[in-house]
With several copies, the nearest count.
Chain A
Amino acid sequence: MAELTYREAVARGIAQEMQRDPDVVFLGEDIAKAGGVFKATVGLLEQFGPLRVRDTPISEQAILGAAMGAAMTGLKPIAEIMFSDFIAVCFDYLANQYSKGRYMTNGQVKCPLVVRTANGGGARFGAQHSQSVENWCMMIPGLKVVAPSTPADVIGLFAASVRDPDPVIFLEHKSLYPVKGEVPDGEIVDELGVAKIVRPGSDATILALALMVPRAIAAAEKLKAGHGIDCEVVDVRSLVPLDTQTMLASVARTHRVFTVEENPRLCGWGAELVSIIADEAFYDLDGPPVRITTPHIPLPSSEVLEDLAMPSVDRIAETVRRSLGS
């Protein structure tokens, strides 16, 4: 056991996989010599050399396109898109290429790669550098989508992503980079598509992802202490594949469900989960499924405004409390 920051876990996770497999290569902007603008890839160039860890021009389409061509022909590329907002300038590779090659060619074309990107708000970077884009990826058939909330999950889920034969979008939360957590020694390999009950409870189920997980847990503690409301918090961890069994089973026990999303409201992953639950667990529900999201607005830059926009511990707790009518 060692205590690592989420940021350090990223570098260790990449190193673990590059160590294991010489076909794993890593490209992106300022990732090599500079060790990444978030300092999450420090030391990799030194450890694996300039042929495996490569700085690129500001050419996101070239980065993602090259990763695909390499993946199709035998490598296992890791591509970094510095901020997830920039997926918008190379979205074609996610929406039309990575996700469709295998299907369109009747299984001939493979695309085993990972796109790592810094996702989410809280850094006061403004509307073009703070977005939560999980749903941009989840809505595209053929992609897998992962978003860890702890340093241990960063390593384990990243390893599972690199070893996965399909294209995986790996969303690191930029506000979690400095956060510390316990990490087992030695190789860590987790599994995609397994949600984790991070706080058992009986009164309501709270489904959360990434930065919203610690907030949901804090809200649950607050509800317990202040109102005796006992919430079960589920860290969704992987949106595709999606562990619907764990979520449906939890709702079957608690009879109420809340989602906590950082993305703007419309067509988020919360809408998908709520729809699945409303359809398949309708008769388990004792009350309406409720989504707690960032309002449907661009994110403001000023800290007071950004803090108001994103779901906070208080807003989560208050929403659950009101809706449970205590």
Chain B
Amino acid sequence: MNRDREGAATARSNQQPMPPSQLSPDLRLRLYRLQTELREAEQRAYDLFLQNLVKGTSHLSLGQEAVAAGFAAAMEPGDLTFCTYRGHAHTLARGVPMDKVLGELMGRDNGLLRGKGGSMHLTSVEHGHMGSYAIVGAHIPIACGAAWRAQYKGEKDITVCFFGDGTTNIGAFHEGLNFAVIWKLPVVFVCENNLYMEYTPIGEVTAVKDPAAGRASAYGLEPIIIDGQDADIVYTTAKAAYDKARSGGGPTLIECLTYRYSGHSRADPAKYRPAGELDHWKGQRDPVRIYRERLLAAGVSESTLAAIDAEVMRRVDEATAICKAAPPPPAEILTTDVYADGGWAWRN
């Protein structure tokens, strides 16, 4: 089992890494900075739980940074993101300020949603981040609708919808994929296959080996599996899918092989993982380390990267300080924004 999973990521991916030449140095530094930022922000979120400053639940993307960074970096301003409760990284990757994200996790008034949504519902329409959805699969048809609007209005933005391996077994996935294909919508479906649902390995409850790619043909789509720990591959795969969608070529379904370092949520110690699995992924397949080494090998100086690391840490600390100083939300907002008039009046 462990072996198999371990072997999986590279063996099963059917896309080739890009020759470094293809991606500009600036872009690659951007991908490094982004992954580092997602890593450190999530790490900080984790530390804040331990200090009991984050209430409720929270789902980290530690280990999955290359997917979020690669897909986001390939987006144009105005492109739309739909993701799940495991959405901190996808939210930050669209440029949402770190203090707003951490503030929301902490239920503070400075939070992105002023504490009304919480960690599972991070949304920033101004950044094209159309929401984090906590009902598995529900956002897949919703993302189709956003893409339909672009198609109908002749607008050039594309919609990217992220979900996990376990999501491929729920009805909304099936309905959404079929719908997107028959209407040829400009939407890109990204399955982050991190090998587990909450606690159960995806392989134990799925009729095919590849939960997303193994379903592609059911929608007339090409099966695409990539190494989700390699930001270059993620970026180039994303770019190609976006170009196709933007030019009227319809949807793409991409399965990214990745891994989450922490448990499903704060409640989960992740005891169910075979011995050595976590070490293997952290040791051999860590996206940040892989990318850092690749840049050094490509001639980027250690000092350049160290400067980025330091800059990121500074911003994480700043954000943390802002959140710790922020008050809880005021009572008045309890009943605001139920309806478009700003209030909650259901009667006269």
Closest to A113 in B: B145
Specify which of B115, B134, B175, B341 is in contact with A300 (CB 8 Å cutoff): B115
| Known pairs A73-B80, A89-B170, A301-B116; A96 contacts B107 (CB<8 A) | no
A-binding segment of B34-42, B197-205, B237-245: B197-205
Give B13-27 as 1s and 0s: 1 = Cβ < 8 Å from A's Cβ atoms: 000000000000000
B17–chain A nearest beta-carbon distance, Å:
32
Q: Are A304 and B198 in contact, with the CB atoms below 8 A?
A: no
B-binding segment of A6-14, A60-68, A223-231: A60-68
Q: Are B331 and A73 in contact, with the CB atoms below 8 A?
A: no
Residues of B within 8 A of A107 (CB): 336-337, 342
| Known pairs A68-B142, A73-B130, A128-B135; A104 contacts B116 (CB<8 A) | yes
Residues of A within 8 A of B179 (CB): 56-57, 59, 62, 66
A residues touching B (Cβ–Cβ < 8 Å)? 25, 29-30, 33-34, 37, 51-52, 54-75, 77, 85-86, 88-89, 92-93, 96-97, 101-110, 112, 123-129, 141-142, 144, 164-166, 193, 240-245, 266, 276, 295-298, 300-305, 308-309
Residue B172 interfacial (CB < 8 Å): yes
* Complex CA distance for A126 and B57, rounded to whole angstroms: 9
Residue B149 interfacial (CB < 8 Å): yes
User: Which of B120, B268, B338, B342 has the most chain A CB atoms closer than 10 A to its own CB?
Assistant: B338
Going nearest first, the 5 A-B pairs with the smallest beta carbon separation are: A65-B141, A69-B145, A301-B118, A302-B115, A124-B56
* Complex CA distance for A55 and B138, rounded to whole angstroms: 21
A-binding segment of B121-129, B221-229, B314-322: B121-129
Residue B144 interfacial (CB < 8 Å): yes
Residue B182 interfacial (CB < 8 Å): yes
- 9 CB contacts below 8 A, A to B, read A69-B143, A72-B130, A73-B80, A105-B117, A105-B121, A193-B347, A241-B347, A242-B346, A297-B335
Specify which of A33, A37, A71 is in contact with B145 (CB 8 Å cutoff): A71
* Complex CA distance for A109 and B338, rounded to whole angstroms: 11
* Complex CA distance for A51 and B151, rounded to whole angstroms: 10
Q: Are B121 and A104 in contact, with the CB atoms below 8 A?
A: yes
Q: Are A240 and B334 in contact, with the CB atoms below 8 A?
A: no
* Complex CA distance for A59 and B347, rounded to whole angstroms: 34
Q: Are B338 and A37 in contact, with the CB atoms below 8 A?
A: no
* Complex CA distance for A62 and B167, rounded to whole angstroms: 14
A246–chain B nearest beta-carbon distance, Å:
8
Q: Are A297 and B338 in contact, with the CB atoms below 8 A?
A: yes
Q: Are B141 and A241 in contact, with the CB atoms below 8 A?
A: no
Q: Are B131 and A109 in contact, with the CB atoms below 8 A?
A: yes
Q: Are B152 and A25 in contact, with the CB atoms below 8 A?
A: yes
Q: Are B145 and A70 in contact, with the CB atoms below 8 A?
A: yes
* Complex CA distance for A303 and B107, rounded to whole angstroms: 7
* Complex CA distance for A85 and B200, rounded to whole angstroms: 21
Closest to B108 in A: A302
B220–chain A nearest beta-carbon distance, Å:
14
Residues of A within 8 A of B142 (CB): 65-66, 68-69, 72, 97
Closest to B178 in A: A57
Specify which of B55, B115, B135, B145 is in contact with A86 (CB 8 Å cutoff): B135
Residues of B within 8 A of A242 (CB): 346-348
User: Which of B108, B339, B340, B345 has the most chain A CB atoms closer than 10 A to its own CB?
Assistant: B339
Q: Are A104 and B328 in contact, with the CB atoms below 8 A?
A: no
Q: Are A302 and B176 in contact, with the CB atoms below 8 A?
A: no
Specify which of A70, A74, A77, A302 is in contact with B107 (CB 8 Å cutoff): A302
| Known pairs A69-B142, A242-B348; A126 contacts B118 (CB<8 A) | yes
Closest to B123 in A: A105
* Complex CA distance for A302 and B107, rounded to whole angstroms: 5
Q: Are B148 and A89 in contact, with the CB atoms below 8 A?
A: no
Q: Are B121 and A126 in contact, with the CB atoms below 8 A?
A: yes
| Known pairs A107-B342, A141-B346, A242-B346; A65 contacts B115 (CB<8 A) | no
| Known pairs A55-B205, A106-B113; A74 contacts B199 (CB<8 A) | no
Closest to A126 in B: B118
| Known pairs A65-B145, A72-B142; A29 contacts B200 (CB<8 A) | yes
* Complex CA distance for A62 and B139, rounded to whole angstroms: 10
* Complex CA distance for A68 and B130, rounded to whole angstroms: 11
Q: Are A302 and B116 in contact, with the CB atoms below 8 A?
A: yes
Q: Are B200 and A33 in contact, with the CB atoms below 8 A?
A: yes
A256–chain B nearest beta-carbon distance, Å:
22
Residue B3 interfacial (CB < 8 Å): no
Q: Are A141 and B344 in contact, with the CB atoms below 8 A?
A: yes
Q: Are A304 and B172 in contact, with the CB atoms below 8 A?
A: no
Residues of B within 8 A of A70 (CB): 145-146, 148-149, 152
* Complex CA distance for A51 and B130, rounded to whole angstroms: 24
Residues of B within 8 A of A88 (CB): 135
Q: Are B348 and A241 in contact, with the CB atoms below 8 A?
A: yes
Closest to B177 in A: A62
Specify which of B124, B197, B335 is in contact with A295 (CB 8 Å cutoff): B335
* Complex CA distance for A52 and B151, rounded to whole angstroms: 11
B196–chain A nearest beta-carbon distance, Å:
10
Q: Are A85 and B135 in contact, with the CB atoms below 8 A?
A: yes
* Complex CA distance for A78 and B205, rounded to whole angstroms: 19
Q: Are A295 and B344 in contact, with the CB atoms below 8 A?
A: yes
A244–chain B nearest beta-carbon distance, Å:
5
Residue B247 interfacial (CB < 8 Å): no
Closest to B337 in A: A107
Residues of A within 8 A of B112 (CB): 106
* Complex CA distance for A56 and B205, rounded to whole angstroms: 6
Specify which of A29, A97, A165 is in contact with B138 (CB 8 Å cutoff): A97
User: Which of B175, B178, B268, B333 has the most chain A CB atoms closer than 10 A to its own CB?
Assistant: B175
Specify which of B140, B147, B338, B346 is in contact with A298 (CB 8 Å cutoff): B338
Residues of A within 8 A of B335 (CB): 295, 297
| Known pairs A66-B179, A96-B135, A303-B107; A103 contacts B145 (CB<8 A) | no
A67–chain B nearest beta-carbon distance, Å:
6
Specify which of B153, B167, B333, B339 is in contact with A74 (CB 8 Å cutoff): B153
Residues of A within 8 A of B117 (CB): 104-106, 126-127, 300-301
